[in-house]
Amino acid sequence: MAVKFVSSSKLPTEFGEFSIHAFEDSNENKEHVALVYGELAANEKILARIHSECLTGDAMFSLRCDCGSQLREAMHRIAARGNGLIFYLRQEGRNIGLSNKIRAYHLQDEGADTVEANQALGFDADERRYEMCLPMLEHLGVSDLELMTNNPLKVDALQKLGLSVSRTPIITGENSHNKAYLATKRSKLGHISE
């Protein structure tokens, strides 16, 4: 199997105590984690988020995107519900990598939108993949998700893997620095704002 479970431990956070489960993806030579809060019952719909790594937004609190705000909101909602999970996937910059993401930022500083910047660098608008979630979900014993996302492509990708997935919006973090970015995600990437 390309994606294998490595280990897990407790992860105390400002939102409560999660457990963190590490997985290695030998196909991509990447490590992904699942953050689990509370007990995940196999026969219930689990509140979840698939979150692609965003160093600038998640760790440096950048206002250029809504990533960090969405991650915090997802953790808050899961803790408030009493259970749920977050997949933190190592797919920086829609899977173009950190250095290329900074190059794309530079192009955006010069007037390109996020899609145009990625394409100018020779990438598709969004190169992320989600099939690594299936073995992670199987390990956790989950197959029915209420996915916190504005991106219908995530829902479609998981449904194509045979999972039962419904969508709930996660609208948060809009500001003057990312207003155009969020508009581009809606107009060019099909994100839903409700």
Query: Which residues participate in catalysis according to the annotation?
Result: 126, 128
β-pair partners for 49: 86
Tokens of 7: 């280990």
118, 125 contact by CB (below 8 A): yes
Tokens of 120: 């100018």
Start-to-end C-alpha separation, the chain: 37
C-alpha 170/C-alpha 158 separation (Å) is: 18
Q: Report the phi/psi class of residue 162: left, alpha or beta, with left for phi > 0 and alpha for psi in -120 to 50.
A: left
78, 47 contact by CB (below 8 A): yes
Tokens of 105: 């930022």
C-alpha 190/C-alpha 184 separation (Å) is: 9
Q: How does DSSP classify residue 54?
A: -
Q: For residue 104, give the H/E element and its range.
A: helix 98-109
